[in-house]
Structure 1
Amino acid sequence: MYTLLLVDDEEEVIEAIVKKVKWEELGFQVTGHANNGFKAMDMLEEMQPDVVMTDIRMPYMDGLELCAHIKAKYPATKILLFTGFDDFEYAKEAVHLEIEEYILKPLNAVEITEVFKRLKEKLDYEISEKRNTDLLKKYYADSLPMLQANLYTTLIEGRIPEEEMPHYFKDYQIAFTGPWYCCLIIHTSASQVPEGMDIRLLSVSVDRQAGENLGEKWNAKRFRYLGDTIMIMQLKSEEEISELTDACDRFCKYIHHIMGAKVTIGIGQVCGHIAKIAASYQSAREAVSYRVLYGSNRAINLKEIVPQRKIQRDAGEKTELSNVFKKICLGENEDIANAIEVYMQHNFLDLKSLEKYHVAVMELIGELYHFMVNNEMDTTKIPGGIGSLYNELCNLEPQVLQKWLLKFCCMLHDDMADARYHSKKSLIGRAKEYVHDNYQQEDLGLDDICKELGVSNSYFSSMFKKETGNSFVGYLTEYRMDKAARMLVETAEKSYMIAKSVGYSDPNYFSYVFKRQFGVSPSKYRTAYEKNEK
């Protein structure tokens, strides 16, 4: 079933469309309807329907403005316009918006049925093309040339000396113009695969879609590595990372909707020279691993989810101690205990020399210290300092040392979890404070607050909803309405002046939002209060 969102300010028109057309037989499901463009925009963010069918003439935002917004943010969504004869020529001027069909009022069930039959054939063809096994196999065989793929792999592994890079880039006809770069890792879950789909072909399809949806805008270099799609993105400015994060988040949701795949995108740190792309790749790997905490089917920018910590580069080798550190960041106490068990077994329990035992203790203390410094933890929590700790631990039996290490690592785990919690609370608090200081601005929106906080729209929206139970737009609206209600009962200001003072230039739209919030118009709200006072 393809999903359909209906948009018209006349309820009876929507009811007629829903009742007169046999949508399920056509292969469509009406998942919602909106009575104006603003409400439709909110619903689009949550529903991301396959098709939007909208009238042109509507209050506050007309259908063509809505179409422009849809094409800018959801280019895969199909749009149908229905309108009166007088507006038909005006509607045809919107050919650049790639409208699928124009339907004249009064609406006819037979005509609508024929339009949606054609539309379903087109949607079926587009999706079958994306899922066609033969095409995917051919694309897999004809992917990036071997030499370029090998070069990109060597680049992210940090094995090309900086002074030799221009030579390699020239030989392989690769242009890195930047001036800023970051690495993406696009990971397709192998445990949640649509029925009948081969994971290898699914991954290749995701790879192809990533190139089409993300590659061109950021002049990306794309290749496969360790089962994932890697993209080296080129940014015009360091701040563009927020826009890229939002685009990646939309891509994950789009892929899940179209193909049923669970995709996570890890976004690495931004660097000012291609020679440092290896560090960006390592931080992207770490970001992907955070899906165990933040969930898959989304983009994860490590700089956003751990704002008070430095982005740490993993050691290239998978040592037992690096696994302990990973569990401190991502696991639970039981996971930490298991990782420590393996570490102690391989590094302490089989040692026969006292000298080697002391060296192992010294290395352990050094690694713990560096882990704390790299993650901006308080090193004074090391009892007695480094020197005293070395003397203490060298005299412990391995079993006692293991108990001490578990206790210390669990303390580090709690410290990191506490830092994440307070970072989220701080972010939400700063957002609310910004609203309180700027709610009078008419154009205040999600983009403004995210730019102020330095985070992507997708991360902030999900975090704000999770922490407050309300969307940012919903919170802003409620705050404005509360301010307006107070002014109505505490001042004699005209309604249109109050509307302007809380960020609404259109008094009619202000009245509409106020009534939706309180159930009565501003004037009736004031009158009811005055009666109660008497």
Structure 2
Amino acid sequence: MYTLIIVDDEEAVRESIREKIDWETYGFELIGSYGDGREALDSLEIRLPDVIITDISMPHMDGLALAAAIADRYRDITVIIMTGFGEFEYAKQAVKLKVYEYVMKPVSQHEFTGILQHLRDELDEKRIRNEDVYRLQSQLNMSLPLLREQFLERMVTSEVKKEEILNKFALFQLSLPGPYYMAATLDVEEFMYPLAAKISSETELLRFAVYNIVHEIFELEQGGIVFRTRDERIGIIFAGEMPYLILAVQKYAEQAVQCIEKYVRVRVSIGIGRPYEAMEELSKSYAEAVSALDYRFMVGKNKIISIEDIVHGKGQLQVHHAEWERKLIAALKTGNKELFARLLSDWMHELRASQSSVDRCYIYVQRFLVSIIQLFEDSGHDALEAADILGQVRAYQTLDEVKVWLESLCLQLFEQVMVKMAQDVDSLLIRSEVYILENYHNENLSLNDVAQHVYMSMNYFSGLFKQKKGQSFIEYVTWIRLAKAKELLTSTNLKAYEIAAMIGYSDPQYFSVIFKRHHGMTPKEYRAASREGISLE
């Protein structure tokens, strides 16, 4: 139902029109009638009709003046002029004022209702068009935030021409006055609430809170532009004069990190790129910001890192790496956890101090992982999933995290190595004991002879032998020799010097001293006591 008012200085005319037309039948509601244009115009302050039917000749304000005022202030109102004047000048003015219909009096009821029907159809079409436009506008308004973020991310990650940037800035009502432009990126690293990282809804809420703080600080206070990216980071671009721009960005970045940790209990890091003179070079600055953020691999989390602070080292780290790898693998092979932990810490410290690029550090760690994988395979145990392990290292954002992960990974290897070593040690000791029993009569039998026989270093074998047997190598060989000497003394009539020679002592006197030291009597006394039935144990 459309609303309508009648304006005519003749009351009889107004009444005639009101009474003769069944307004509802034609889709209209008559909401008022007025005697002149001024009165009608004032009524529009209270309620706006869809249609005004007005005479031309009226006191105070005629119909053309009313139509002109409506065209100026209320362009959605449709005006129909009905007049008894046929002057061409009036009709010309009416057309100029975009009057819907210019009708000459007298007009028949049939003609008038025909005008109303036609007008209603046009108003219906106009309403449908307006609803379509409103719906599309609403959809656009709902999509604008997403479209805005998609464009801003594309602008800083690819080459976009200045003309497109300016057009999209106008569409999204964005402004970066220049003359220098910079970009930064923020990454959420750690939720300090224990359950936050495990509950998706809680995580999203905290990320939204982080975005709001960044938006308030960088966009509302500093005049920058803040947007979210598909990799769940927050992009920030800003503009201004140098050197104020760099100082301001650093200041607001520090403020953002502090506020986010204080109010949201979330730790973040921010990477900052260099300033550029052209808006279309923001992609360079953003790429630098991402590189700066990646450098937290070296310096740790919860940091503000500018690309200007990064100087990639070009030292001889590759030579050092080979040496570190050799030492670490040796510690793993011998099952020395304490040594391994110390070496790993020292290696991480050297990597950090070297100022190598993040990619180079990843490569060094992956090379070490290849050696670990090979060690697993050589140890006769199930091989690690090489592809998975090598890929996992890049999931960690700092060297400290890589260190913890390597320690955990190598702990598995330590356990397997220790099991294998325990098995191998038992076998090696048996082999060494057999060798000693077969060669104890050799005066020149040495610790080094036995160690070489079981393919171990002399020092390592010496320590391992004493640990497992509870006595040193010399003590064990002496015990074997003296045990054989006692057997020969009680079961044969061999002379002491003959027995000494048979068990590896070329000096009978030395043999006698050693024997008495261990058994409290000389070999001769021992034999005599044995034959007299005296207990010798």
User: Normalising by structure 1, what TM-score?
Assistant: 0.31
Q: Which has the larger radius of gyration?
A: 2
User: Normalising by structure 2, what TM-score?
Assistant: 0.31
